[in-house]
């Protein structure tokens, strides 16, 4: 039987949203605020640990996906590559799902404030401090190597990201007309996925399963019933 596109009949969308694997970068060393700025650069350039092995529950959730979208940052792209490899190993297929890199799904940036050099914390502590400053929109005194996106802009990007995912999924074929499900996955970042979760729920998606969504390789699975074409 020929494939039926999602815009040709009612169907369900199923989306697996995954946080990237653990980056291969030391996070426990103490540093001042200027050193943390350099640490952020290294974090965004870092890949994942070579021994990364996804849990079987996550791979089982991905065996039927047709598309995997990921952030272009190395830790997200390498996670997608690793997941795709394990999907092929599990299904015995030479071809895994199509992968698309898309900057819509990068992490929300962190501002870095100029603070006394005697203040030294591990990177994880600085990240919490500066994320709070970002949420509170404290702009005075911050120094950063990229333009700072506001929380409002991140939330709008998350909503735009949902609409774009729906458009991509609407163009995929329904493989089993008797059970018309379109399946895709997104590999992204912790804070952005938190905002994406809220955007998905606002657009009528339902979270049907989750496992440690705030941890590396944690995930949420969403579904949405689609009655009308969204257009390719």
Q: What is the pLDDT of residues 35-75, one digit of tens each?
A: 998 999 999 999 998 878 899 999 999 999 999 999 999 99
Q: What b/e readout covers 22-53, taking b as 16+ CB neighbours within 10 angstroms?
A: bbebeeeeebebeebbebbeebbebbbbeebe
The pTM for the full model equals: 0.89
Residue with tokens 């969308």: 13
Residue with tokens 């092995």: 53
Position 143 confidence tier, pLDDT thresholds 50, 70, 90: low
What is the C-alpha to C-alpha distance for residues 44 and 182, in angstroms, rounded to an integer? 32
Q: Give the CA distances from residue 37 to residues 43, 55, 170, in Å, rounded to whole numbers and listed in that order.
A: 10, 33, 40
What is the C-alpha to C-alpha distance for residues 218 and 18, in angstroms, rounded to an integer? 6
SS3 content of the chain, % helix, strand, coil (to 5): 40, 20, 40
pLDDT at 109: 86
pLDDT at residue 4 is higher than 80: no
pLDDT at residue 161 is higher than 70: yes
Least confident segment among 72-86, 137-151, 214-228: 137-151
pLDDT at residue 1 is higher than 50: no
Q: What b/e readout covers 129-154, taking b as 16+ CB neighbours within 10 angstroms?
A: bbeebbeeeeeeebeeeeeebeeeeb
Position 155 confidence tier, pLDDT thresholds 50, 70, 90: very high
pLDDT at 7: 47
Please give the structure tokens belonging to residue 201. Answer: 């729920």
Comparing C-alpha atoms, which of 31, 20, 6, 42 is closest to residue 169? 6
DSSP secondary structure string for all residues of 68-90: EEE-SSHHHHHHHHHHHHHHHHH
pLDDT at 166: 95
Dmax (CA) for the chain in angstroms is: 69
Report the percent of the chain where pLDDT is more than 90.
61
Report the percent of the chain where pLDDT is more than 70.
89
CATH 3.40.50 holds for 1-22+52-108+150-232? yes
Taking residue 67's Cβ as centre, other Cβ atoms within 10 Å add up to 19
What is the C-alpha to C-alpha distance for residues 102 and 42, in angstroms, rounded to an integer? 21
Least confident segment among 13-27, 66-80, 144-158, 184-198: 144-158
Rounded to an integer, the average pLDDT of 129-139 is 82
Sequence ranges of the domains in the chain = 1-22+52-108+150-232, 109-148
Are 122 and 27 contacting, i.e. CB atoms less than 8 angstroms apart? yes
pLDDT at 144: 53
* E strand or H helix at 196: helix 190-202
- Bridge-based pairing of strands 11-19 and 30-31 is unpaired
């Amino acid at each position: 039987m020929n494939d039926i596109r999602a815009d040709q009949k009612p169907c369900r969308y199923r989306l697996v949203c995954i946080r990237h694997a653990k980056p291969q970068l030391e996070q426990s060393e103490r540093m001042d605020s200027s050193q943390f700025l350099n640490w952020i650069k290294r974090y965004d350039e870092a890949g994942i640990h070579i021994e990364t092995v996804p849990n079987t529950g996550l791979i089982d959730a991905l065996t039927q996906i047709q598309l995997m979208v990921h952030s272009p940052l190395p830790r997200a792209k390498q996670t997608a590559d690793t997941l795709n490899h394990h999907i092929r190993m599990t299904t015995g297929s030479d071809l895994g799902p199509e992968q698309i890199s898309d900057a819509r799904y990068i992490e929300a940036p962190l501002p870095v404030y100029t603070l006394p050099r005697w203040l030294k914390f591990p990177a994880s502590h600085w990240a919490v401090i500066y994320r709070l400053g970002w949420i509170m929109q404290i702009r005075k005194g911050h120094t950063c190597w990229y333009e700072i996106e506001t929380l409002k802009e991140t939330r709008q990007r998350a909503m735009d990201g949902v609409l774009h995912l729906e458009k991509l999924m609407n163009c995929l074929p329904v493989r089993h007309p008797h059970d018309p499900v379109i399946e895709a996955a997104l590999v992204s970042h912790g804070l952005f996925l938190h905002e994406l979760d809220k955007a998905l729920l606002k657009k009528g998606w339902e979270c049907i399963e989750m496992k440690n969504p705030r941890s590396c390789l944690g995930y949420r699975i969403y579904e949405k019933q689609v009655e009308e074409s969204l257009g390719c």
